[in-house]
Chains A and B, each alone.
Chain A
Amino acid sequence: MPRLPFLLRVFLLLVVVPASAFASVTKGTLKGQTIDVGGLSIPGVLITAQSESMMGVRQMNTDPEGRFYFNDLPPGEYSVSAEKAGFAKVSKTNVVLSVGRVSNITIEMPLATAQEEIVVEEKGPAVDTESAQRGSVLTKEFLERIPAGRSYQSAVQMAAGVTGGSNPNIGGASYNENTYLLDGVNITDPVTGTFSLNFNFDAIEQIQVLTTAFDPEYGYNLGGVVNVLTQSGGNTLDFVTGVYVTNGNWSPRLDARYASDGYELAPTDFDSRFELYRVGMMVSGPVVRDKAWFLASYSMARSLIANVGIDLPRDFDGHYMLAKLTTQPSVSHRFTVLFQTDPSAIDNLDQGDRYVEPEAQYRQAQGGYFVSGQWDWYISSDMYLETKANVQKSFLEVTGVPCTHNKEIGYHPCQPTELENSLDFVTPGRYGINNAFDSDNFPYFVFDDRWRFNASTKFSWNQIQMLGTHDIKAGIEVDRTLWDQLSGYNGNLLFYDLNQLSYNPDTLQNYYWIEVTAPYNFIATAEHAGVFIQDVYKPIENLTFRYGGRYDRQITRNDQGDAIVDAHLWGPRVSVIWDPWANQKTKLQASFGRFNDGGRLAVASYMSQSGLGQKLTLGEYFSNFTSDVANNYFYVPNENTNTIMDGTIAPRSDDFVVGFEREVIQDLVISTFFEGKFTRYIYAWDELNLVWDEDGYNVLGYSNGTVENLYRMRTPSIARRDYYRLELGFNKRSADRWETFGNYSYTFSRGTVQNSPSAFMQVPQEIEHYVNGYLPTDIRHDVAVGGWWDIPDDPWTTSVGFTLMLESGYPLSRYYGTAYYGGGSLLKDTRGSYARTETWWNLNILVRQDIPVRKGALRATGQLSNILNNRTGEFAGITGDNRWIISSRLDPIQVQLGGEYTF
């Protein structure tokens, strides 16, 4: 490739980059040096890199120091050859390149002999002595062989520093403070801060989980980064289809059943249900060999899951489609277009109340689409420009389900004139006693649309010589998100039934009702722009400085266009990595980074100024008692009285990391890291109008003189988390047909807000202990161990994989207020008590059998999940005067059987 004039390079760095835009890492770097048998460098060697994951080849000549450098290669397994007259041709095969990693190899070239080519199998160094980021890269090879649950959300649990469920907590942050990327593009839900897309697990090439110490191009968030890279196809036609059935119904679930008055619960009261059916297929191959590849993937998932004591299962149907077209018209340019959609529906959504009548259930339709375009421009051997643009829409609709043709789930059957799932906006919804919905339609509806428009460009310029070498990257990203939600009540009325047994729907005699003025519509928007610049400076070969910073500007507006968040955010990052013996077997590092959170659209919506107005009307029933109340009502205007505190500061974390890694024997690396992370100014709310007693337990008065509750949003410095983690780990990378890993984290965290809030904002405990606050004093031990072994049994191959995870926490957290089950009146934990969880072990085993057949292979898999089955949870409720508490197994043992055919 041509070398560009110096002025053009400067122009690209200073002008082109800011004018377009950056994105996050989706590639890796392959570098190295050619030497002769005496250890002297060989300049002018033609280096050729090729891989099944890359179209064509990349070539360059080594510099006067014998060095070569291929930046921004797609992850995969590479073959690197070196050729020069007078020397034997040397090829290194199986060089593994992972996303975001540097693979540094040395090629020793003997003088030419009769042997034409020397082939050496080398995976590259096991320790990346140039990068500082902590986390894991889960490869396709790995994910296929271990029981990962066939979802990227569960697969990331194996990385050290990751806890929680499918919405994980990473690096001590809340579950809604992570960034999710698909092929380097931000797909984080702009409202909730959680993942927002689903697709076929088989389409995943690698999953990169970053927990801390990452470069400035990442990290506009307080938590971790989950970067999912999809496959791109190849020069051969491949077809994979599979069926997976998972069942947890037979698993023992009962632990205890009791009620305060000795009420004996029937077995069905504590039963639960878990069934999952998945079908998937993927086809990929060349459109034009080495010029255009395609990939198309579809999978369907249906699950029937019922909570303990609930009769009707939640019925989920999801359809996930992903298509990708990659073209490379010339060696310098590559274009990729990706389309994804995942329409899904959940019936029987309410699993919280066992007394919900079937016909009063509701349905949630959800999904969306994602379209992305990417242009990779390999400007020269040392310059690269990546430009992306994408649009994402996700939707969520919650409506009543007036009828169904699905007899299995027991809704009232559709009449000849009735359309299944047709929406009933006319008949008012009705609540019976205990808030049970007993009408023939669910009372409210929600139509929720979320958009993200994103464009980014990243420019990298490598191997700049100045007192050592520099790899410089810079980029800019612009992002606009929008949240448009319409909600309201069917018929604009909500009836309450005072006496469910004797109501008269014709006269409405035993009802009172709330009239809602109109459907409520709000729109929240956010504009974000970020720039970063970073340098990887190596003054000497075994010492690396990674430094730089990012600046983010975010404005988040509520429904009135008021700027709720208007933030200038600086995020400096610096790391020092030292390879003391310069042999790529040892790494010592120290890192510091500041991470910022510009907030989600949910923050702006909390400050929306409009809301549902409502008017209470009392029915005739009340006239039996007084003569004049029948037509009385109160009216609540449709205003949101929440307020924002001046001087809000965007939340931020200061993160310090020191660590050590060492390859102790061939392919086996041990590591230890310590992290201290200090988060301040977390988004919080408190009740502005209320004056509390010394324990935050009872209200003493109202500042504005009325009982009305006014909520205030702010980001006080006392809303904070301190997080410390010590990590010990080992990793024996894939070689000799087996691979294993393990990590242990001891975590201590202490904060003044809830650590895993169910809401987007949190409650500082010193103000509002009472509502639902508990202090997250969290001391945990987390262990994740896994591995696989391919047992050759020619022509068949049997593979056995396992994962074992442990989570503990004594105490998990301490309540500063009295906690109730589900916000109800059944006491759960009193003030000052510690929330305790049982130590939870999770053991999963996967056995896979590959059977060669004509033009392909059959694969049978059997997976046993959650074998130890000791994770318990409590469910509670009140039935009349009966209090009941059920302790049950949260994750039953599941059996998964699967079959695949690969062409």
Chain B
Amino acid sequence: MHTSTTYTLLASVGLLLGGCAYTEDALNHFDFNGTVRIPVEAVQVEMRDDDNETWTIDDPRAMGPIYMGVFPSVVDNLYDFSHPEIGPVTSDGQSGDAYPLGGNTVGRFEWGCYQQLICQTVTGRYSSYDDVLEFFRDEVRDPILDTNGQEVTSGIEYQEQCFEYKYATDDYEIAFIDDGQLDFALTSDGQYYEAETSIPHVPFYEGMTVWGWADMPSEGFGFTTCNSSIGESVYYYEEQYDVGSNFSDVLNFPGTYIDHGDYVENEGYVLTSTEDEFVLELGFRYED
């Protein structure tokens, strides 16, 4: 009796130890943390209105989304700027594919609740509704108008518009308003705007390269990476339109979206280990 009981107890202890000794297998996917820098002069945007009058915006709120991708490599002989290596061209008139292994953005297009703002507002740039009103009135010189053509002057009115059109009950649900920390902060030396970011869930191959660019607005405050005919649809009484979103292949064919005034990473950041923290410096201004 004692012998069998001892065996039984030993078996139980063995089961317990077996359970405690269970180990986990790692997945070959990693999050890469890093920093994106853009020189302060990048936010100086030349504007021109219909009367051919020109002026300059010098404001970080003018920045479009920053697109980042992880690519097999980056080369400098495809375009006038550095660009991810591309695969073979399979169709006439079409670029080769860059085959991104992963990617992310700093800021994204988020509709600003008025039809006029389709493809105009980016997350992480505005701290309040009044902030948006002031920027488009004073910097872009295109005041926001309501559906009756009257200028919107009150942040409260703006908020009500958003709550109505987005079924929102709290400013937290309005993604392009951020009363906390905005995406970019000025560095201590005053030379750069800088943002912390990460690129999640990327399979790791030694030598793969992080690369990206900032989509800066055109003279009419338009962005080449935004498609105004896609995105969520607004149905509000007689109104019916799409709110816009980025093209879904901007990381496959980045060269076709980079245009005059955009700021591009010079060389790309080569990843040599899964612990690397990348730094993207979007220092090259592309002049068409």
Contact = CB atoms under 8 A, between A and B. Distances in A.
Say whether A and B bind each other.
yes
A691 B103 contact: yes
A254 B28 CA distance: 54
B89 interface: no
Contacts of B168: 830, 833
B88 to A, nearest CB: 11
B93 interface: no
A13 B24 contact: no
A258 to B, nearest CB: 13
B26 A647 contact: yes
B69 interface: yes
B102 A691 contact: yes
A701 B247 CA distance: 9
Contact of B27 (A550, A645, A707, A881): A645
A217 to B, nearest CB: 13
A829 B20 CA distance: 43
A551 B99 CA distance: 44
B175 A695 contact: yes
Given A261-B237, A700-B246, A533 B8 contact: yes
Contact of A694 (B7, B20, B104): B104
A260 B235 CA distance: 9
Given A9-B4, A694-B105, A830-B167, A574 B200 contact: no
A705 B252 contact: yes
A549 B250 contact: no
Interface string A161-201: 00000000000000000000000000000000000000000
Interface in B269-288: none
Interface in B178-202: 197, 200-201
Contacts of A10: 3-4
Nearest to A690: B248
B145 interface: no
A292 B76 CA distance: 89
Nearest to B101: A703
Which of A571, A594, A695, A767 has the most chain B CB atoms inside 10 A of its CB?
A695
Given A701-B103, A830-B167, A549 B108 contact: no
B152 to A, nearest CB: 21
Given A699-B248, A700-B105, A547 B16 contact: yes
Contacts of A6: 1, 4
Contacts of A717: 24
Nearest to A881: B235
Contacts of A89: none
A464 B5 contact: yes
A700 B20 CA distance: 42
B186 to A, nearest CB: 21
Interface stretch (A98-106, A391-399, A465-473): A465-473
Interface string A806-835: 000000000000100000010111111100
B24 A535 contact: no
Given A829-B167, A832-B172, A883-B235, A694 B197 contact: yes
Nearest to A7: B4
Contacts of B100: 691, 700-703
B213 to A, nearest CB: 12
A825 B101 CA distance: 31
A262 to B, nearest CB: 9
A698 B27 contact: no
Contacts of A829: 167
B233 interface: yes
B170 A533 contact: no
Nearest to A262: B237
Given A572-B16, A701-B252, A703-B99, A693 B246 contact: yes
Which of A534, A550, A766, A833 has the most chain B CB atoms inside 10 A of its CB?
A833
Contacts of B26: 647
Contacts of A697: 108
B233 to A, nearest CB: 6
Given A9-B4, A464-B1, A704-B99, A260 B252 contact: no
Nearest to B200: A766
Contacts of A535: 8-9, 12
B74 to A, nearest CB: 15
Given A6-B1, A260-B236, A714-B27, A701 B248 contact: yes
Contacts of B232: 818, 827
Which of A466, A646, A700, A767 has the most chain B CB atoms inside 10 A of its CB?
A700
B149 interface: no
Interface in A635-656: 645-647, 649
Contacts of A767: 200-201
Nearest to A551: B15
A891 B77 CA distance: 67
Interface string B63-96: 0010101000000000000000001000000000
Given A818-B232, A831-B173, 13 more contacts: A10-B3, A466-B1, A470-B8, A472-B5, A572-B15, A686-B201, A691-B251, A692-B104, A694-B104, A698-B109, A701-B250, A705-B99, A833-B169
Interface of B: 1-5, 7-9, 11-12, 15-16, 18-20, 22, 24-29, 65, 67, 69, 87, 97-109, 123, 166-170, 172-173, 175, 197, 200-201, 232-233, 235-237, 240, 245-246, 248-252
24 contacts: A9-B1, A465-B1, A466-B1, A472-B5, A533-B12, A549-B16, A549-B18, A572-B15, A572-B19, A649-B24, A691-B104, A714-B27, A716-B29, A717-B24, A767-B201, A818-B232, A825-B233, A825-B235, A827-B166, A830-B166, A830-B175, A833-B167, A881-B235, A881-B240
